[in-house]
Amino acid sequence: MPANDTLNAVTQRRRQGRPGEVLSAFLKLGLTSFGGPIAHLGYFRDELVTRRKWLSESAYADLVALCQFLPGPASSQVGFALGLTRAGWLGALAAFLAFTLPSALVLLALAMTATRLESPLALGVLHGLKIVAVAIVAQAVWGMAKNLCPDKERATIAVVAVLLLAWAPGAIGMMAAILLGAIAGLVLSKGQVAVGDHLPVPVSRTAGLTAFALFAALLIGLPLFAGQAQGWALADSFYRAGSLVFGGGHVVLPLLQAETVMPGWVSDDAFLAGYGAAQAVPGPLFTFAAWLGAVMGPQPNGVAGAAIALAALFLPGFLILIGALPFWDQLRRKTWAQSAMQGANAAVVGILGAALYSPVFTSAIGGMPDFALALICFVALMAWKAPPWVVVLLAAVGGAALSLLM
């Protein structure tokens, strides 16, 4: 290990921070971190590693590798772990709340008002938000395919996942695709041993095993209560979706669509409008759950629905992270684990590709003008490198213009 990294690690262990310090740092990030999970990791590194020197460069890289290996919202998991290592459990809670609540509250407010708007102009804006989702998801599929399907074998896994979803759409098909992808990854055995600095974490093995047990108990137990009340059913659906998100925040789109649109809780139009609005706010994409919980047809909805949806969607990723932290040093050196994750991630690309067609494209594009606006947004993202929030505003204006012209 380089001398500077050693010195930084020792300094970090000696100087524990305070929850208030974590809260202020992550509130700044929660208000300014646009651009999705990969961009968030860059913001974290600049603010917490380079400027504040909370941990060494190699320790941060190791933490990022762990959170990308696990299911769940990677940037939020990294933030949670940074708060945990800096100021204990209160620091972890402070990091989560400060990074998540700004965008969640904005989306909640939008959901409570947008669904009541009925003028042609307002409906045009909502339609523009549906159209921009086509461009956003297409960009995500393109980028993830380049990174996660770099060879013919993993590209084939992605295509097989699409075929499986064409035959068995919904959550069961997605779970089967991820499982088969992991098995195919094991067979291909392309994993490599990870190397990096040791990451000191204040989590015992007992606490880790307890977190794993709680994760499994909720995954198995919530469906048993889902039939008792709609609140339990809501928690069950969002918890299951949060347990299966491999490969990035956009992957939550088809999972949540299967859990909310297919049962009839949320309309296709409201779902895609909320997904488009989520691109225009900073912070984690998982705060899309606040919109969905608020616009639910059956109660609980509104503020209560948003709170249940948010908690249930984030919780499994945090439980898995807490469970994995004490064992990460050993697990990252197992090539079979890396191989399985490579296969599962390739399948995730196929799942997101299938979602690009249905429901995203089929629900948003009703004719050539819609397609032209979606193409403009896609080129703005890919070729002009425009920030997502700028493209969302462009789509909202374009949708309003189309409503007046058509």
Burial of 176: CB neighbours in 10 Å, binned 0-12, 13-18, 19+: middle
Q: Which of 53, 31, 214, 55 has the alpha carbon at shortest distance from 106?
A: 31
Rounded Cα distance between 201 and 199, Å, is 6
On the question of a cis peptide bond just before residue 73, with omega within 30 degrees of 0, the verdict is no
Rounded Cα distance between 147 and 41, Å, is 16
**Ranges assigned E (strand) in 231-274:** none
- Which sign, positive or negative, has the C-alpha torsion 89, 304, 36, 29? negative
Torsion, Cα 64 69 310 315, to 10 degrees, reads: -100
Look at residue 11 in the predicted model and tell me its pLDDT.
46
Structure tokens at 395: 């789509």
Look at residue 194 in the predicted model and tell me its pLDDT.
54
Look at residue 19 in the predicted model and tell me its pLDDT.
94
Structure tokens at 185: 């990854």
Q: Which of 111, 37, 113, 51 has the alpha carbon at shortest distance from 282?
A: 37
Q: Which of 92, 76, 83, 84 has the alpha carbon at shortest distance from 36?
A: 76
Please give the DSSP secondary-structure letter assigned to residue 168.
Answer: S
Please give the DSSP secondary-structure letter assigned to residue 199.
Answer: -
The answer to whether 29 touches 47, Cβ cutoff 8 Å, is yes
CA distances from 402 to 121, 126, 166, 392 (A): 9, 11, 32, 15
Rounded Cα distance between 131 and 365, Å, is 7
Q: What angle do CA 268, 274, 275 make, to 5 degrees?
A: 90
pTM of the shown model: 0.79
- The per-residue DSSP string of 136-189 comes to HHHHHHHHHHHHH--SHHHHHHHHHHHHHHHHS-SHHHHHHHHHHHHHHHHHHT
Look at residue 56 in the predicted model and tell me its pLDDT.
82
What does pLDDT average to in each consecutive run of 10 residues of the chain (406 residues)? Answer: 46 67 95 77 86 84 78 91 94 97 95 75 85 86 88 95 90 85 89 60 91 97 95 97 79 90 93 89 92 95 97 97 88 80 86 86 92 96 88 92 88
Look at residue 43 in the predicted model and tell me its pLDDT.
82
